[in-house]
Copies of this chain bind each other. A is one copy, B any other.
């Protein structure tokens, strides 16, 4: 696949995982892609926890289901009904979970480029996640980012010490197929915006309110 093919084929996958194994060299290329991301002051403040254990995954899935209900309870009846039909995670069906964390102490105290923007290290971790996601797509794997969880629960579950912060649980593995359109668009939850709506010249000129 060409670079742009990979970029535009990438999807958030939830219902398509087969659970088949990932060849070790493929997993290494995908993790190596994440680790090749740019980072503020070359701090590389990320860690990757590979979770295959069934008990851990079930405990996390149970927590995510509870948080899903919390979100659903805040919706009006029409949106709640729509949300009911949307699958938000493939924690058990995927081959493994890759939990990505942020360590603010990595490279401290003088992280070049972080003195004025405290979140810059957190931003770096997200760049690594997108590298991982795209590399997985290039390898024919699916990735689903689960964000229906409380950080403190995931921290306790995996023994993540403070001040390290969990940023994502990524479900990773072979998929039957990658969907053509985002699930949320397919279900009518929300549409993709035209590029023009998010472009500004010289100054921030308006708020589309979308």
Residues of chain A having any CB pair with chain B under 8 Å: 1-4, 6-8, 10, 12, 28-29, 31-33, 35-38, 40-44, 46-53, 56, 67, 70-71, 74-75, 79, 83, 86, 88, 101, 103, 105-107, 110, 112-117, 119-120, 122-123, 126-127, 129-131, 133-135, 138, 145, 147-151, 158-161, 164, 167-168, 182, 184-185, 189-193, 195, 198-205, 207, 209-210
Contact = CB atoms under 8 A, between A and B. Distances in A.
A52 B201 CA distance: 8
Contacts of A123: 122, 126, 129, 167-168
B41 A190 contact: yes
Contacts of A8: 36
Residue of A31, A107, A199 with most partner-chain B CB within 10 A: A199
A49 B134 contact: no
B134 A7 contact: yes
B115 A70 contact: yes
User: 7 shortest A-B CB distances, which residue pairs?
Assistant: A126-B126, A130-B130, A113-B147, A42-B184, A42-B190, A49-B200, A127-B130
A138 B7 CA distance: 11
B112 A42 contact: no
Contacts of A138: 3-4
A203 B101 CA distance: 12
Given A113-B148, A147-B114, A201-B50, A7 B210 contact: no
Contact of A150 (B53, B70, B116): B116
Contacts of A190: 41-43, 107, 112
A24 B8 CA distance: 20
B135 A4 contact: yes
A172 B56 CA distance: 43
